[in-house]
Amino acid sequence: MSDDATTGWFDARIVSGAHPASLLPPTDRDGIAAHLDTYAMSGALVSAMASWLHDPLGGNAEATAIADSLADRGVLACWTAVPATPGELDSLAKLVDQAVAEGVAAFRIHPHSHGYSPASLEELYAGLEANGLPLCVDAAEITWSEVDAIASRFPVLPIVVSNVGYRQLRNLWAALRDHDNLFVDLVDFAAHQGLEWLAAEGLSDRLLFATGLGVRDPGESILRLAWSGLDDETVIRIGAGTARRLFAAGGRS
């Protein structure tokens, strides 16, 4: 693999803020900029820890503020959605419209952590599909049957599953086989030669480089891709190409 193949990657999962169980300092704007500099990355997708663990909607402003401050570095915001509930959120359709107006590139959901059924977000999925914005979700937040239902109901909606882990590879394979709109990022993709396996099956264009900075050590994903046995073209596709295509609708005009 040439040195050129390991530069310009797009980090498809960064979480700003501090996890209460972590001994690491908060992942703030400067920390994200340093991360991009250290690994010569071309951009990143940032969501807020607050949106996951504290205030599902309030944290979106934090993600947007960081993305705006690093827009020249290719940083994009990922917002969090919850079901419309009086006093919290009036309309998912309006939330998507606001996100589009503010240059948001994707949405993330935490159904298990936030205590609702993914089936209650059909208005969100329809809005994302219509606007070309991907849906991101951790494997621990949703069942594979629920992923299957969403991917089947909204076949043009890109769905990015994160934190899969090697124990879920059989479920992942079945989902990727059955749904062309399903993708997986490299956060905790701890499978021996898992990237090589999926690439050999013609699925390299469903893999996105992501580190999970803020919740994971970024070295895991970086080494997993950089030290893989994949050719330069495939590494570049996983490292940035697919993410650039998926998140193309986001960003300030």
The string of pLDDT tens digits covering residues 172-223 is 999 999 999 999 999 999 888 899 999 999 999 999 999 999 999 999 999 9
Q: Quick count: other Cβ atoms within 10 Å of Cβ 171?
A: 17
What architecture (CATH level 2) is domain 3-246? Answer: Alpha-Beta Barrel (3.20)
The CB-side HSE value for 60 (13 A sphere, CA atoms) comes to 22
Token pair listed for 110: 């935490």
Residue 30 confidence class, pLDDT cut points 50, 70, 90 = very high
pLDDT at 46 over 60: yes
CA distances 208 to 9, 80, 221, Å, are: 10, 20, 10
CA distances 166 to 40, 149, 160, 186, 218, Å, are: 28, 23, 16, 11, 18
Does residue 182 contact residue 175 with C-beta atoms inside 8 Å?
Answer: yes
Strand order in the sheet with 135-138: 10-16, 43-48, 75-80, 106-109, 135-138, 159-162, 182-185, 207-208
Mean local confidence (pLDDT), 81-85: 97
pLDDT at 131 over 70: yes
What length is written for the chain?
A: 253
Q: Terminus-to-terminus CA distance in the chain, angstroms?
A: 35
How far apart, in whole angstroms, are the C-alpha atoms of residue 34 and residue 125? Answer: 34
DSSP class of 239: I
Mean local confidence (pLDDT), 71-91: 96
Return the domain boundaries, the chain: 3-246
The string over 1-37, giving b where at least 16 C-beta atoms fall within 10 Å of a residue's C-beta and e elsewhere, is beeebbebbbbbbbbbbbeeeeeeeebebebbbebbe
At residue 16, the pLDDT reads: 97
DSSP class of 17: B
Task: Report CA dihedral (203, 166, 80, 178) to the nearest 10 degrees.
Answer: 40
At residue 188, the pLDDT reads: 94
At residue 251, the pLDDT reads: 83
